[in-house]
Chain A
Amino acid sequence: MNIRALPLYATIAIFLLAYLICYMQFPAMLSTRVIGNLLTDNAYLGIVAVGMTVVIISGGIDLSVGSVIAFSGVFIAVLLRETGMHPLAAFALLLAITTLFGAAMGGMIHLLAMPPFIVTLAGMFLARGAGYMLTIDSVPIDHAFYETMQRAYYLMPGKGRLTLLGVTMLASVILGMILLHRTKFGTNVYAIGGGEATARLMGVAVGRTTVLIYAFSGFMAGLAGIVFSVYTSAGYPLATVGVELNAIAAVVIGGTLLTGGSGYMFGTLIGVLTMGLIQTYIVFDGTLSSWWTKIVIGALLLMFILLQKGLLRLRISH
């Protein structure tokens, strides 16, 4: 068996086990309504985690995404308030900006040979500050097209709603899977994560790939920002603080190696859903403090880090 796939199997097993426990306590949790809400409520996190997966597999990190989501919401809200622009045009403009922003960070990481941590940390403050420059208040979005998007859903059997947002996330994951597992770009991402110097010797265009990786993460953060603004119907510069850390947690719980070179896009989806499931359980229970989410996620993270250390030992020893 492929030893690198073990964390993925572990992730899937944990998710199924957790779901089973939830189901035994609250049979209602195995309904399409809960599943539909799980997808909708975690759509923005899932989308941003797709970009983060690519970044982490390449051995990097992107701390800017939480701020980029907040910036996106504010940007769209202010643009729609100040101009008569159609939301779709605003979306296109925003995606161009966040993609370029990501590409610029990737370019700096490569050209200046700077650690991604530092460059994207700077990007995090920059994007948050840009949001504040546009407004310091929560700006509501009141547009007919937004209502259309919010009402767009497919009614699954059992009255569960598969919303546009949920579908967007699933589509992002599928796009990410194709990109990562079926393109030369994806193989290059794994190659850089496995060893940048070796990848360069083997002919991988490391610079171009690095720029593309962070551009992709920027694009996904912009898309997550759009989804978040549709979800909340507002733009607020203080929103989604720390979401980058949730995304990293989801990626790691999804079985991706934090040091790069190993992981699966599908695992990230399961990681996001596991985190959402814990939250749903706490809502169902009603007596637990929401901080339990953090505690359980912390424990899961620790477990996966230990699992990966163990696998690393196993790989070295044989």
Chain B
Amino acid sequence: MLLSTRDLTKSFPGTIALDRVNFGLKAGEVHALLGENGAGKSTLIKCLTGAYRRDSGDILFEGKPIFPQSTLEAQAIGIGTVYQEVNLLPNLTVAENLTLGHQPTRFGMIRPRAMQALAQEMLAGYGLDIDVRRPLESYSVAVQQIVAIARAVHLSGRVLILDEPTASLDAREVQMLFDVVRDLRGRGLGIIFISHFLDQVFEISDSLTILRNGRHIATHPAADVDRMQLITLMLGRELEEETSVRYRPEVTGTSADAIRFTGVGRRGRIAPFDLTVRKGEVIGMAGLLGSGRTESAEVLFGAVPSDSGTVEDANGAVDLRNPRSAIAAGFAFAPEDRKTDGIIAELSVRENIILALQARQGWARPIPQAEQQRMADDYIARLDIRTPDAEKPVGLLSGGNQQKVILARWLATNPRFLILDEPTRGIDVGAHAEILRLIEDVVAQGMSILVISSELEELVAVSHRVIVVRDRRHVSELTGADVSPDTILRAIAAPHTTLEAMA
């Protein structure tokens, strides 16, 4: 083993991030590290690279225990890391970035030609034909990524950790990067590869290690595992045989008054997709974290404006340049992380509820106090928000009640299309059921809803159809009897080739 851990444990207040993890990396292999967010991948990497101090257990490099205290020490030992955001300096030249800290000098002065020659030499074998005298920022992210790899390999040279290196690359650039990775594997480096993109994982990896909730779940040769097994291991749930019975009212709208998204998308975030949202329809969106679910929602709401395609409804084109115009068009978006993107903890329940409506009206025309009070009381009763009164700061309510306040905020604007990103995350079972019931209520009144959720049962329970997102593209749409946890899971796991047959 080139690099291995023995019973590596690391805990933070309240959680055990790594629980006696055993991991082994051989020289000359690409070893993928897999797991949902929070599984412990980053913590493991940070322990290996010295960014975190471990609580207990051993890290062995070529059989000898090591105790890296910083990324620089890890580098000196032989462990280099390249992150998703390129950790180089865009304002320096390529040559300066490659040689920073070990520039060739004479009498204390840098020798520019020798520095450029050294940089050229470091880049040799990476298939890059670039002018090392130009600033790094004048090259694409893929090239910068390869420059970062060249630096890391030059400085450490034994173990290379690639943390989500392909997240902002397009398909051609990914192949360019993979050629480099294969070449480095051939030179005998041990490479740890972390990615949300399962296709890429299967393409490049020799072995897979799956972590879940800080525990080592399994390590297999990549060839011995199929997608289905992998996802089952990552999510930690078995496929269910029976399909649960669902009740769904018929969609009331026709395609005539639907909102039609055609070819909308955003380069590097989500591939262009089509979506037709009919009145009174609930559309579910399933996929692994980081697969492009939230990115889709952001494009649909104009938070990250689409760079292609058109959006139309019965009245013609819909302007979605930014959230403001989306709200004006009758859209609403309750984002995933309510703590940072949703509630304003210091403001009262009433103020949080009227926020979006007031913003749409413009601050020059305040909603009368009595009207605010009436609306707040109305939603507190309708949504059963547990609060002593409407003036209590939202931050003091429980998670489920905070979520209801956000729902109330958007319902108050009476939107025609409501996007809910993980509406039930982190709330208790009772509130969970109430929110699902609420979705059914508002849909019956003709509102359209897009629900993004990791809870497959929840999607199945409320959705008329389910869109499956994988590797930043919409890969499949399930309707009618096909909407079941089982089929959704299969669609998440399916490789691209078998897609058409399934959908």
| Alpha-carbon distance A187/B91, docked complex (angstroms) | 11
| Alpha-carbon distance A4/B137, docked complex (angstroms) | 10
| Alpha-carbon distance A188/B100, docked complex (angstroms) | 8
List the one stretch of A198-206, A281-289, A295-303 in contact with chain B.
A198-206
Who on chain B is nearest to A315 by CB? B137
- B72 near A199 with CB under 8 A, answer no
- B105 near A199 with CB under 8 A, answer no
* Given A191-B89, A198-B89, A202-B100; A183-B134 close (CB under 8 Å): no
Partner of B135, one of A4, A182, A203, A204: A4
Who on chain B is nearest to A262 by CB? B91
Q: Which residues of A contact B101 (CB under 8 A)?
A: 184, 202-204
B334 to chain A, nearest CB (A): 30
Who on chain A is nearest to B86 by CB? A198
Q: Which residues of B contact A315 (CB under 8 A)?
A: 137
B232 within 8 A of A: no
Partner of B90, one of A183, A194, A202, A204: A194
- A183 near B109 with CB under 8 A, answer yes
Q: A residues 195-226 with Cβ under 8 Å of B? A: 195, 198-199, 201-204
* Given A204-B101, A315-B137; A4-B110 close (CB under 8 Å): no
B471 within 8 A of A: no
| Alpha-carbon distance A203/B80, docked complex (angstroms) | 13
- A195 near B89 with CB under 8 A, answer yes
Who on chain B is nearest to A178 by CB? B109
Q: A residues 112-145 with Cβ under 8 Å of B? A: none
- A187 near B87 with CB under 8 A, answer no
- B87 near A202 with CB under 8 A, answer yes
B-side interface size class: 20 to 34
B192 within 8 A of A: no
B88 within 8 A of A: yes
A3 within 8 A of B: yes
B108 within 8 A of A: yes
Total number of A residues with any Cβ neighbor in B under 8 Å: 24
Q: B residues 36-93 with Cβ under 8 Å of A? A: 71-72, 75, 87-92
Q: Which residues of B contact A148 (CB under 8 A)?
A: none
Partner of A201, one of B71, B90, B137: B71
Q: Which residues of A contact B463 (CB under 8 A)?
A: none
* Given A3-B138, A201-B87; A190-B109 close (CB under 8 Å): no
Q: Which residues of B contact A195 (CB under 8 A)?
A: 89-90
Q: Which residues of B contact A199 (CB under 8 A)?
A: 89
Who on chain A is nearest to B71 by CB? A201
Q: Which residues of A contact B87 (CB under 8 A)?
A: 198, 201-202
A217 to chain B, nearest CB (A): 20
Partner of A194, one of B72, B92, B112: B92
A60 within 8 A of B: no
- B88 near A184 with CB under 8 A, answer no
- A202 near B89 with CB under 8 A, answer yes
- B91 near A183 with CB under 8 A, answer no
A203 to chain B, nearest CB (A): 4
A255 within 8 A of B: no
Q: Which residues of B contact A83 (CB under 8 A)?
A: none
Who on chain B is nearest to A57 by CB? B91
Q: Which residues of B contact A187 (CB under 8 A)?
A: 92, 96, 100, 103, 110
Which A positions have Cβ atoms within 8 angstroms of B? 2-4, 178, 182-184, 186-188, 190-191, 193-195, 198-199, 201-204, 261-262, 315
By Cβ-Cβ distance, the 6 closest A-B pairs, closest first, are A194-B89, A194-B91, A261-B91, A203-B101, A182-B109, A191-B89
Sampled A-B contacts (21; CB under 8 Å): A2-B134, A2-B135, A3-B138, A4-B91, A182-B109, A182-B110, A186-B110, A187-B92, A188-B100, A190-B89, A191-B89, A191-B100, A194-B91, A198-B89, A199-B89, A202-B89, A202-B100, A203-B72, A203-B101, A204-B101, A262-B91
Which B positions have Cβ atoms within 8 angstroms of A? 71-72, 75, 87-92, 96-97, 100-101, 103, 105, 108-110, 112, 134-135, 137-138, 151
